[in-house]
Amino acid sequence: MTRLIPILIRHGLLGPANRDFGRFLEDFHLPPLFSEEREFTPAFDVSETEKELIVKAEVPGTDKKDIDISLSDGVLTIKEEKRQQREDKNEHYYTAERRYGAFSRTMPLPVEVDANKVDATDKEGVLKIILPKSETAKAKKIEVKS
């Protein structure tokens, strides 16, 4: 949007009220409304139990083959790359649309996890990753001696 407003002002396509509003919006340094690259970052929920960390991410319409999950040196990385193409032919019209979207999210884990027991499932557009804590990271009860 911020890239579009100066062009509209320069060509006289915004009236006086809209020009002022456009300048007002420029002050917020918003990302461009129309851009070549569109990035989608899903919402993440992270919770912790005594035995595991649970990460949930909203990934509606994603095929599991498009998701890449990796764990290295206590850092969880989730990537997705989605390419879609749709073509619609009719007697009176023809449309073809292509969409591309990708995201990558990296998060350091607060505790050590057992990488060999990590489990990931995708159910109804929600990716759920269960990261079991390693034995050294699990809370241990310490008895007080007298």
Give the pLDDT confidence of 61-114 residue by residue, as tens digits: 778 888 899 999 889 999 988 777 788 888 888 888 777 778 888 889 888 999
21: alpha, beta or left, given left = phi > 0 and alpha = psi -120 to 50?
alpha
Considering the chain, what is the average pLDDT of its residues? 77
Q: Give the domain ranges of the chain.
A: 1-35, 36-132
Predicted confidence (pLDDT) at residue 25 exceeds the cutoff of 90: no
Written as six digits, the tokens of 86 are: 């749709």
The separation between the first and the last C-alpha atoms of the chain, rounded to the nearest angstrom, is: 69
Does 26 or 134 have the greater pLDDT score?
Answer: 134
- Beta-carbon contacts of 17 under 8 Å, excluding residues fewer than 6 positions away, are none
Q: Tell me, what amino acid is at 41?
A: T
**CATH code of the region 36-132:** 2.60.40.790
Confidence at residue 18, expressed as pLDDT on a 0 to 100 scale: 53
Element (H, E) at 24: helix 16-26
- pLDDT (mean) for 16-26: 54
pLDDT > 90: percent of the chain: 24
DSSP state of 113: B
* Per-residue pLDDT, 35: 41
Answer whether 55's CB lies under 8 Å from 76's CB. Answer: yes
